[in-house]
Amino acid sequence: MGRASGGGAPKGFGPDGDDSGCPFLHIDMDAFFASVEVRRRPELRGLPVVVGGTGGRGVVSSASYEAREYGVRSAMPTAMARARCPQAIFIPPDMEAYAQASRAVMAVFRDITPLVEPLSVDEAFLDVSGSRRLFGRPAEIAALIRRRIAEEQQLTCSIGVAPNKFLAKLGSTRAKPDGLLVIPADRALKFLHPLPVSVLWGVGERTEESLRRLGMRTVADVAHAGPGLLRAAVGQAMAAHLHELAWGRDPRQVSTEHQEKSIGAEVTFDTDLGDPEQLRKMLLALAQKVAARARASGQAGRTVSIKVRFADFRTISRSRTLPGPTDVAHEIMSTAWELFEAVRAQQRIRLVGVRLEGLLAAEGAVRQLALGEAEDGWREAEVASDAVIARFGRGAVRPASLLGTTRRSSGAARPLPQNPAPGMVVPLSDPPTPS
């Protein structure tokens, strides 16, 4: 069933540790996208599997632990991953399959406690303080969750059990892969203080370098640094934040009301594009994706923004606030295209993105018609399309201008060859559209 504790943890922090005062769990699925692919293609088990864009400018989304042994990591260019692990099996991402797996995993969490805070499709915080009567101690609950996910979903996860969210997150990281780690409240500093400053939330490369220049290399160094020295390194607000974390203090509670601030989609082209008609079609596909996601989440937004990266890697963004909120692709596309035409300047394009911001609940928020204004029927048509797509798949309804372009994978796995060739790209169904 996996390891009891993470290899990077001090001795004595296993599942039998004192979990009194440890109501917080952080659960992180192991190599989630790659694991879902291995689950539906058992012949990939034990092989280096890389999920991500397979084109010349693709990026790794997930890598199995067999691939990670060769130095393959998430967010790495696919070309670099191929160089490091040429024998890997490369698979285009199938976001629908991962979303479905995520929903099943989150349902397991909610069977245990209603206090679930998803952070992404593959990780969440849980507060199990009210679940002890039914399921036992926090560590026992964590073991139960791991067992259920393994048996019901054929996936593995790593769990940290701790007095607060910050420590629970550190625990799950050091329990990987497929492990469980308890950080007792009275031993939290013994666990925390020897760690490098980079484990503190908010410490990126620049902040780490600023701290190192002043001799602060471990969390203990930050904890014992004088207030003036810490402020000199990172500023007043960040200094106060890091001081609290360095002493293992994190007052945040599990929040079950998570609202996205924006909904977006973007695509990087394998070859720089300059044809206005191709670019228009891609923006339309992105606008449709954003609008469909907004309607599915019951939200609408007032601001449309675009992101454009030119062939020389110069990246710009532009936005416009509408008179009222919308979840209609036609309106999003119209605004996005106007913004795009104003910045394109005949240059070739490497990446485009569309985003809907200023979100609020769509009920009663979608733009009301002005007195005497005719209905255009676009929203009704798109809602009807949603229903058709939900029943028959994404290829069932599309604008005529997008006929013949690539479609998103349906999620059905094609059978693999008996012996996958090293470095081969495994197709799903149709090539995926922008993420």
Residue 16: what pLDDT?
79
List, as residue ranges, the binding site for Mg(2+).
28, 122
Q: Mean pLDDT across the stretch 361-375?
A: 51
- What's the pLDDT band for 408 if we cut at 50, 70, 90? very low
Report phi then psi at 101, rounded to 5.
Answer: -65, -40
Q: Please give the Cα distance from 356 to 358 (Å, whole number).
A: 7
Given a cut of 90, whether residue 297 has pLDDT beyond it is no
Domain 262-402: CATH superfamily is DNA polymerase, Y-family, little finger domain (3.30.1490.100)
Domain 1-189: CATH superfamily is Reverse transcriptase/Diguanylate cyclase domain (3.30.70.270)
Q: What rounded mean pLDDT belongs to the chain?
A: 85
Q: Please give the Cα distance from 265 to 391 (Å, whole number).
A: 23
- What's the pLDDT band for 388 if we cut at 50, 70, 90? low
Chain-centroid distance of CA 379 in Å reads: 29
pLDDT in tens, 151-166: 999 999 999 999 999 9
CB neighbourhood size of 107 (10 A)? 12
Report phi then psi at 4, rounded to 5.
Answer: -80, -35
Q: Please give the Cα distance from 303 to 322 (Å, whole number).
A: 6
Can you give the residue ranges of every domain in the chain? Answer: 1-189, 193-246, 262-402
Q: What is the pTM of this model?
A: 0.70
List, as residue ranges, the binding site.
28, 122
Q: What are the residue numbers of the active site?
A: 123
Three-state SS string across the chain, please? CCCCCCCCCCCCCCCCCCCCCCCEEEEEECCHHHHHHHHHCHHHCCCCEEEECCCCCCEEEEECHHHHCCCCCCCCEHHHHHHHCCCCEEECCCHHHHHHHHHHHHHHHHHHCCCEEEEECCEEEEECCCCHHHHCCHHHHHHHHHHHHHHHHCCCEEEEEECCHHHHHHHHHHHCCCCEEECCHHHHHHHHCCCEHHHCCCCCHHHHHHHHHCCCCEHHHHHHCCHHHHHHHHCHHHHHHHHHHHCCCCCCCCCCCCCCCEEEEEEEEEEEECCHHHHHHHHHHHHHHHHHHHHHCCEEEEEEEEEEEECCCCEEEEEEEEEEEECCHHHHHHHHHHHHHHHHCCCCEEEEEEEEEEEEECCCCCCCCCCCCCCCCHHHHHHHHHHHHHHHCCCCCCCHHHCCCCCCCCCCCCCCCCCCCCCCECCCCCCCCCC
Residue 106: what pLDDT?
95
- What's the pLDDT band for 401 if we cut at 50, 70, 90? low
Given a cut of 60, whether residue 411 has pLDDT beyond it is no
Select the more confidently predicted residue: 71 or 403: 71
Q: Which residue has the tokens 């910050």?
A: 166
Smallest CA-to-CA distance from 160 within 195, 125, 133 is with 125
Environment class of 135 (CB within 10 Å of its CB; exposed 0-12, middle 13-18, buried 19+): middle
Most confident of 252-266, 314-328, 421-435: 314-328
Are 254 and 117 in contact by the 8 Å Cβ rule? The answer is yes
Residue 360: what pLDDT?
86
Residue 370: what pLDDT?
43
Q: Mean pLDDT across the stretch 121-139?
A: 95
The CATH number assigned to the domain with range 193-246 reads: 1.10.150.20
Q: Both tokens of residue 45?
A: 């088990």
Q: Mean pLDDT across the stretch 281-293?
A: 93
Q: Mean pLDDT across the stretch 241-254?
A: 96
- What's the pLDDT band for 56 if we cut at 50, 70, 90? confident
